[in-house]
Chain A
Amino acid sequence: MLAGTVPLFLGAMLSDIAYSATYQVQWTNFASWLIAGGLVFGAFAVVWAVIDLFHADRRGPRALLYALLVVATWVLGFVNLLIHAKDAWASMPGGLILSVIVLVLACAATWVGFSSLRVGGAT
């Protein structure tokens, strides 16, 4: 689930860069839908991460860090969607900055989550 968010948020960030470079609004429309897609996958990741926190055998500092990263990614991703809903250039440069932050958070969450697979952590 979480793995799906990274390429979508990456696509959103690239679209933002393209909009900044060309002023073609279609790029910002692409970015909006990619962020919305990332949020759909991300919502499942949030639910799974929170459920994991309530499993005694899986609880630990790593699971907590993972859950915090996933939640932060989703919340900022949602804020980013609202910023992208502003008309035309009103979404810039805030939208691009937030797209970068959300992508970094998504990568970090994925890295923490998947690296703990070896010890039987997050799914």
Chain B
Amino acid sequence: MRRSSVLPTAALAILLSACGGSGSGSDLDAAHLGPDPALPEPQRGLLPAMTVAKPAPWGDRQPTVPDGYTVTAIATGLKIPRQTLVLPNGDILVAEGSGGNAPVLQPKHLVAGYIKGKGTTSVESGNRLTLLRDGDGDGTYEQQTVFAENLNAPYGLALIDGTLYVANQDALVRFDYRDGQTRASGPPVKVTNLPSAINHHWTKALAASPDGRFLYVGIGSNSNITERGMTAEVDRAMVWEIDARTGAHRPYATGLRNPTALAVQPRTEQLWAVVNERDEIGPNLVPDYLTAVREGGFYGWPYSYWGQNVDERVRPQDPQKVASAIVPDYSLGSHVAALGLDFSTPAMGVEFAEGVFIGEHGSWNRAVPVGYKVIFVPFQDGRPAGPPVDFVTGFRGDDGMTRGRPVGVTVDPRGALIVADDLANTIWRVTPEL
């Protein structure tokens, strides 16, 4: 607390400055990205900086893609599409829904919930999987049909040898799947329950090990920074490894605040994740990141960030855990809200042949918005190499209106990037021109 705020006038002045300005040093630049980002001192005014998306319809506009690429809306009118899966026959499955039931614990939650709600869709949660099919291969997905319904905020999707796994917000379930199927042949079978009390961060990201024995599930924390109490954080902020056959689980890596997307790297078979870091300590803290997930590794949350930077908001502290925290591989910038991750293939074109695509939902806790785009992080020898490149932009227009918010990104091995947009309730497909 600043001592001067004891005087009402000074307090008002601080209040006004906290409400109004963007302040200096608010811009996201190259210094905040990559393997060694600049980490400013933590700071927080009386009010957190908030700039929430103002939704608008796309109209005649479209997202912007690099020269030599085309973007098309292949499905519209969905019910909050989040993640997608490209099936072996080229069909696309879309997980639709919205979860979480975090109670109001403070007057703050009423106000913040109302403001943030304005930046999202008003469509109700689909709780279903929709299948998209391009029967004749002309790039138009003429068939749009419900594959499965009555799910509970489905998010992560994975296919292992004729079995489709779906990560609901409260359980991992499976369906039998054979090529060409357009409707699930029965209700889902539960593999195992997933931690779902409160579900402040409700999304359950999913990836399958290359040998098909294990599933990896990303489970987000139950708070920004432990403000719902430490008991709410049991089995949270970690990646589980689940035996696909028995449903038995163990923590694979911990201290990952909100691992919103997982992907297995081709060839190396290494598990990678994008993780959303903590809010309310400044526009350039704490960087959301891309990292290889080390088995048994601890990544800092809640005690510290980006390695050994202690978060003073957490009590009691834990110096031993801080000392063991791993520094993540690659900063994507603070508050960008990375929610989608997939490895590219040479079919995406020479410039984008090796690396990852990342969907960034966009910021709220920042005066100058960031994210609201799909980026490409180039790789060399299996590691991130070089600054990120914009791949799909224009979700947030020059007019300050937001027309879409990217979530899941999936690479179609035939040479296309599938982007789920949960504001416009649309699936975009970006392809290299022939």
Contacts and interface: CB of A to CB of B under 8 A. Distances in A.
| A, B co-complexed | yes
Nearest to B45: A82
A25 B107 contact: no
Contacts of B315: 23, 88-89
Interface string B302-339: 00000000001111100000000000000000000000
B8 A72 contact: yes
A32 interface: yes
Interface stretch (A7-15, A47-55, A91-99, A109-117): A91-99
Contacts of B248: none
Nearest to B107: A36
B40 to A, nearest CB: 16
A76 B8 CA distance: 7
B434 interface: no
B223 interface: yes
Contacts of B47: 82
A90 interface: yes
A82 B227 contact: no
B229 A79 contact: no
Contacts, number: 71
Contact of B11 (A29, A79, A84): A79
B106 interface: yes
Interface string B51-71: 000000000000000000000
Interface residues of B, number: 27
A25 B228 contact: yes
A94 B12 contact: no
- Listed from nearest, the 9 A-B pairs whose CB atoms lie closest are A94-B1, A85-B108, A87-B227, A23-B315, A90-B313, A89-B315, A82-B46, A88-B227, A88-B313
Interface in A29-62: 29, 32-33, 36
Given A32-B107, A33-B107, A25 B229 contact: yes
Given A24-B229, A81-B107, A93 B44 contact: no
15 contacts: A24-B229, A32-B108, A71-B8, A79-B15, A82-B46, A82-B47, A83-B46, A85-B106, A86-B44, A86-B313, A87-B313, A88-B226, A88-B314, A89-B313, A90-B225
Contact of B225 (A26, A32, A88): A88
Q: Is the interface of A mostly helix, strand, loop or mixed?
A: helix
A88 B302 CA distance: 11
A101 interface: yes
Contacts of A79: 5, 11, 15, 46
A64 B229 CA distance: 44
A75 interface: yes
A43 B315 CA distance: 34
A85 B11 contact: no
Interface in B1-40: 1, 5-6, 8, 11-12, 15
A17 B96 CA distance: 45
A120 B158 CA distance: 77
B422 interface: no
A93 B1 contact: yes
B281 to A, nearest CB: 8
Given A75-B8, A85-B106, A88-B314, A98 B1 contact: yes
Nearest to A71: B8
Nearest to A22: B315
A87 B46 contact: no
Given A87-B227, A89-B313, A90-B44, A82 B15 contact: yes
B170 interface: no
B2 to A, nearest CB: 8
Contacts of B350: none
Contacts of B144: none
B277 interface: no
A76 B4 CA distance: 12
A85 B107 contact: yes
Contacts of A90: 44, 225, 280, 312-313
